[in-house]
Structure 1
Amino acid sequence: MTSFVPMPSVELVVGPRYHPETVAVDGGELFCGVWEPDPPQVEGSAPTVVLVHGITSSHLAWPALVDLLPAVRVLAPDLRGRAASRDLPGPYGMGRHADDVAAAIRALHPGDDPVTVVGHSMGGFVGVVLADRHPGLVGELVLVDGGLPLTPPPGVSPDQLAEATLGPAAARLRQTFSTRADYRDYWRQHPALGRDWSELSEAYADYDLVGEEPALHPATREAALHGDIRELVDGHDLLRGLDRLRHPTTWLVAPRGLMDEVPPLYPEQARAAWCTAYPSLVLAEIPDVNHYSIVLSRHGAAEVAPWVEQAVARQRGDGHGPSRG
């Protein structure tokens, strides 16, 4: 397994609540970041929130949100084929990831109460399948610009849509970078992250590199990307999970896409179609964010955090959720 690298930029953003853990899964060990509640609480008394990252991301997508959830215990894995879990073998797919996350919950969640699962991008798809395959582990779902199938426009096949949506990400995985500064510059110039660049972005970029200078490269394995991408359109496990959706589910969407563009990943027509198909969904648009900054920026995390807090409160029976917007 690839080791967690405690670089200064990473240590700065994960903070004192954080500790790394590994969990035995099929084929090896899954890496997880764990943030304990602050102030410390009796073990098992604080609610647990599980944060699941996107298709070429890592658990370092989440520190901005974690900072706003001090009263909960946070568990955030690096998914199979990514970051410090990159050496876990395939096959990949939503069912495989869901089972890995279930193993992490069973090993690292100190209570026996269900957890709130928050999934960004592909992490939302994993969350839906996790809730279907392991329903007793999950209390509520919060899907962040993900979790509902991507809809091909007329004349575009599902395969073409999948490849077009994440084509830039696939190209990045094939690149090499001479220094960490070069990779930071790549992300600083990215249209979705440039204007929100911060110490969070720097740590996210630093953690995403493996190898040695001058041949550094992104940690996500290209085989993992291609093993997962097609399921985001009409994967069997996803569609079955949605058809059997039994957990309260909030769907938060961004008004801009992966390259800060309009239309977003889920345009109005897609939102309306999926809310009609699954009327129990609670839909809300997070203002002034794109597909990345909805979790990677402090202002995006500040908009997402109240929805997570309300999901946790409903599970504990001491709060009321927002009305559908």
Structure 2
Amino acid sequence: MSETLDYRTFDVEVRGGSLRAGEWSRRGAEGGQTVLAVHGVTSSHLAWPFVARQLLVPPAAGQGDSADDAEGPGSAPGVARVVAPDLRGRGRSNSLPGPYGMAQHADDLAAVLRAAGADADRPAVVVGHSMGAFASLVLADRHAELVERLVLVDGGIPLAPPPGMSPEEALQALLGPAAERLRMEFASPEAYLDYWEPHPAFTGAWTPEFEEYIRYDLDGAAPRLRPATALAALADDNADLYGGASLLGALDRLRVPTLLLRAERGLLGQLPPLYPDEVMDRVREEHPAIEVRDVPGTNHYTIVMTADGAAAVARAVLAGGPLAAGTAALRDSDTPG
């Protein structure tokens, strides 16, 4: 990804076996902050390379916003590593058994953080996208000593069923296409790439990183390759999206600084977004401690999987605490217009 970054994967022992995680780290950095990045419902840790790069790679000399930028990696603690797991039932963690749900994901995430060196004296900034935002909220509730701040990216707030729909019917409308994909087989990685290419959310946003992400999201052997997410995990986790007890309790007891970023458009690049204005108004009324910001020019996917979207996420991560002073400025060319 960059000559200044190291990337590795490692396994963490959790209930039922090993959970896979990826880590991007700043070469030559000592100490520094850990950022935990938590992916969405049928995703993997490879959703995060753009955000990792924005947080870890300083701009070239003369491109930053201050004289301190020229000092380069290791000149200040800043963000030292971005750790991102494949959640239970996804990616290379897809053989881990259920039950799933946000409480189980939270406990798995706590194990990952401890393996990465986080503790009560060195808590992490936690960034959760989509379903990962729900899991991040419950992590902050069940393992508060490990979490310094939360950044929720187009997720974390219980979804409201459209008028006339039950929660079950709304879930089917929202995630039915994902469930259908998980039942499919593909003859080759190229066939899976062809399946994804027409997706409207990625029109004009197809990148080598996204192609690598798609290739990683396959399990089995050709010509019977299948998406890596376990169908049972999708079914079990969806209940919390409309207000499971662990999530609602976590929201009521929220006690760490929390920022919610809303993408301008939804899962198919459409309007209205996943969280319409009336939902954001309710969040501001019922949870005034949660700061809400919109990210123009992004949809539910590109808010983390493009340079512009990732720049907005990285600014949110760096916005509070010592990170703002300790990490080099973001590149001007990556700032949304």
Which residue of structure 1 lines up, in the alignment, with residue 297 of structure 2? 288
Percent identical residues: 49
* 1:58 maps to amino acid: S
Q: 1:29 to 1:157 in 2, by over 3 A?
A: same
Q: Displacement, 1:152?
A: 1.2
Of 170, 194, 210, the residue aligned with 2:203 is 194
Q: Displacement, 1:201?
A: 1.0
* CA distance in 2: counterparts of 1:307 and 1:105, whole angstroms: 20
* CA distance in 2: counterparts of 1:17 and 1:293, whole angstroms: 24
Corresponding residue SS for 2:133: helix
* CA distance in 1: counterparts of 2:105 and 2:248, whole angstroms: 16
Of 66, 91, 107, the residue aligned with 2:99 is 91
Q: Displacement, 1:147?
A: 0.5
Q: Can you list the C-alpha shifts for 1:221-253, whole angstroms capped at 9, x where unaligned?
A: 000000101111011000000000101000000
Which residue of structure 2 lines up, in the alignment, with residue 31 of structure 1? 20
Are the aligned partners of 1:94 and 1:129 in contact in 2 as well (CA < 8 Å)? Answer: yes
Q: 1:104 to 1:305 in 2, by over 3 A?
A: same
Note if 1:82 corresponds to 2:71.
Answer: no
* CA distance in 1: counterparts of 2:202 and 2:54, whole angstroms: 20
Corresponding residue SS for 2:180: helix
Q: Decide which moves more: 190-199 or 219-228.
A: 190-199
Q: Displacement, 1:13?
A: 8.1
Which residue of structure 2 lines up, in the alignment, with residue 183 of structure 1? 192
Q: Displacement, 1:194?
A: 3.0
Corresponding residue SS for 1:196: coil
Are the aligned partners of 1:13 and 1:203 in contact in 2 as well (CA < 8 Å)? Answer: no
Are the aligned partners of 2:259 and 2:291 in contact in 1 as well (CA < 8 Å)? Answer: yes
* CA distance in 2: counterparts of 1:210 and 1:121, whole angstroms: 23
* 1:26 maps to amino acid: R
RMSD of equivalent CA atoms: 1.7
Q: Displacement, 1:202?
A: 0.3
Note if 1:221 corresponds to 2:230.
Answer: yes
Q: Displacement, 1:34?
A: 1.1
Note if 1:256 corresponds to 2:244.
Answer: no
Q: Decide which moves more: 172-181 or 113-122.
A: 172-181
What does 1:1-325 correspond to in 2, within 5 Å? 16-38=5-27, 40-42=28-30, 45-70=31-56, 71-109=79-117, 112-311=121-320, 314=321, 318=325
Structure 2, gaps ≥5 residues long: 57-78, 327-337
State the TM-score, normalized to the length of structure 1. Answer: 0.90
State the TM-score, normalized to the length of structure 2. Answer: 0.87
* 2:174 maps to amino acid: T
* 2:8 maps to amino acid: H
Q: Displacement, 1:72?
A: 2.6
Are the aligned partners of 2:118 and 2:124 in contact in 1 as well (CA < 8 Å)? Answer: no
* CA distance in 2: counterparts of 1:95 and 1:315, whole angstroms: 30
Corresponding residue SS for 2:265: coil
Corresponding residue SS for 1:21: strand
Q: 1:16 to 1:248 in 2, by over 3 A?
A: closer
Structure (1 or 2) with the larger CA radius of gyration: 2
Structure 1, gaps ≥5 residues long: 1-11, 320-325
* CA distance in 2: counterparts of 1:222 and 1:152, whole angstroms: 22
* CA distance in 1: counterparts of 2:234 and 2:194, whole angstroms: 23
Are the aligned partners of 1:196 and 1:293 in contact in 2 as well (CA < 8 Å)? Answer: yes
Q: Displacement, 1:14?
A: 11
Q: 1:298 to 1:31 in 2, by over 3 A?
A: same
Q: Can you list the C-alpha shifts for 1:98-155, whole angstroms capped at 9, x where unaligned?
A: 0000011111126631100000000000000000000010000000000110011221
Are the aligned partners of 2:5 and 2:26 in contact in 1 as well (CA < 8 Å)? Answer: no
Q: 1:282 to 1:159 in 2, by over 3 A?
A: same
* 1:23 maps to amino acid: V
